[in-house]
Structure 1
Amino acid sequence: MTVRLHHETHGDPAAPPIVLLGSLGSNAHMWDPQISALSSRAHVIAVDHRGHGGSPAPAGPYTVSDLGGDMLATLDTLGLDEVHVVGLSLGGAVGQWLAAHHPLRVRALTLLCTSARFTPAQPWLDRAATVRGGGIATVANSVVERWFTPELAQRDSQLVAHHVDMVRGTNDEGYAACCEALARWDGRADLSRIVAPTLVIAAEQDGATPVPELRAIADGIAGAELHILSPGAHLASVEQAGAVTQLIERHIAAVGSVEMSRRVLRDVGSTVRRSVLGAPHVERTTAGSTPFTEPFQDFITRTAWGDIWARDGLDHTTRRLLTMAILTAVGNEHELDMHIRAALRAGTAPELLMEVFLHTAVYAGVPNSNRAFALGKEALADLASETRGASERDG
Structure 2
Amino acid sequence: MTDRPALMLLHGVTMSAAAWDDVVPLLAERFDLIVPTAAGHRGGPTLAAGATIAAVTDTAERELDERGLDAVHIAGNSMGGWMAVELARRGRARSVCAFSPAGLWEKNEKPGASRATLIRTKKLADATRHLAPPLMKFGSGRRIAMRDIAVHGDRMTRQQAVRSFQDLVGCEAAYELLDTRENMEPLLELPCPVTVAWAAHDRIFPPAEFVPVARQRLPGARFVALPGVGHVPMIDDPELCARTIVETIEDGTG
SS in 2 for 1:108: strand
| Contact in 2 for aligned 1:64/1:97 (Cα 8 Å) | no
**Structure 2 equivalent of residue 120 of structure 1:** 112
2:199 aligned with 1:206: no
TM-score (normalised: structure 2): 0.80
TM-superposed CA distance for 1:189, in Å, is 2.6
**Structure 1 equivalent of residue 55 of structure 2:** 66
- In 1: Cα distance, 2:188 partner to 2:130 partner: 39
Deviations 1:205-263 (A, max 9, x none): 11011113134223422421111122111111231222221121111012123xxxxxx
Unaligned runs of 5+ in 1: 1-11, 258-395
Q: Which has the higher helix share?
A: 1
**Structure 1 equivalent of residue 84 of structure 2:** 95
2:254 aligned with 1:252: no
| Contact in 1 for aligned 2:193/2:251 (Cα 8 Å) | no
TM-superposed CA distance for 1:40, in Å, is 0.9
Deviations 1:164-184 (A, max 9, x none): 312333275x62523422321
- In 1: Cα distance, 2:207 partner to 2:52 partner: 25
SS in 1 for 2:22: helix
SS in 1 for 2:171: helix
- In 1: Cα distance, 2:213 partner to 2:219 partner: 12
SS in 2 for 1:33: coil
TM-superposed CA distance for 1:32, in Å, is 2.2
- In 1: Cα distance, 2:240 partner to 2:126 partner: 39
TM-score (normalised: structure 1): 0.53
| Contact in 1 for aligned 2:7/2:75 (Cα 8 Å) | yes
- In 2: Cα distance, 1:78 partner to 1:176 partner: 26
**Structure 2 equivalent of residue 195 of structure 1:** 191
| Contact in 2 for aligned 1:20/1:86 (Cα 8 Å) | yes
**Structure 1 equivalent of residue 8 of structure 2:** 19
- In 2: Cα distance, 1:50 partner to 1:193 partner: 29
Asked which structure has the greater RCO (Cα within 8 Å, sep 6+), the reply is 2
**Structure 2 equivalent of residue 47 of structure 1:** 36
2:67 aligned with 1:78: yes
| Contact in 1 for aligned 2:103/2:182 (Cα 8 Å) | yes
Question: Which stretch shows the higher mean deviation, 211-220 or 81-90?
Answer: 211-220
| Contact in 2 for aligned 1:60/1:177 (Cα 8 Å) | no
| Contact in 2 for aligned 1:144/1:160 (Cα 8 Å) | no
Name the larger-Rg structure. Answer: 1
- In 1: Cα distance, 2:235 partner to 2:121 partner: 26
2:123 aligned with 1:130: yes
**Structure 2 equivalent of residue 334 of structure 1:** none
2:167 aligned with 1:170: yes
- In 2: Cα distance, 1:175 partner to 1:189 partner: 26
SS in 2 for 1:73: helix
Distance 1:239 1:80, change over 3 A: same
**Structure 2 equivalent of residue 389 of structure 1:** none
**Structure 1 equivalent of residue 147 of structure 2:** 145
| One-letter code aligned to 1:46 | V
2:103 aligned with 1:107: no
SS in 1 for 2:244: helix
**Structure 2 equivalent of residue 183 of structure 1:** 179
| Contact in 2 for aligned 1:136/1:170 (Cα 8 Å) | no
TM-superposed CA distance for 1:99, in Å, is 2.0
TM-superposed CA distance for 1:84, in Å, is 0.8
Count of matched residue pairs = 238
| Contact in 1 for aligned 2:79/2:103 (Cα 8 Å) | no
Distance 1:77 1:227, change over 3 A: same
CA-atom RMSD in angstroms: 3.0
TM-superposed CA distance for 1:185, in Å, is 4.1
| Contact in 1 for aligned 2:74/2:97 (Cα 8 Å) | yes
Identity of aligned residues (%): 21
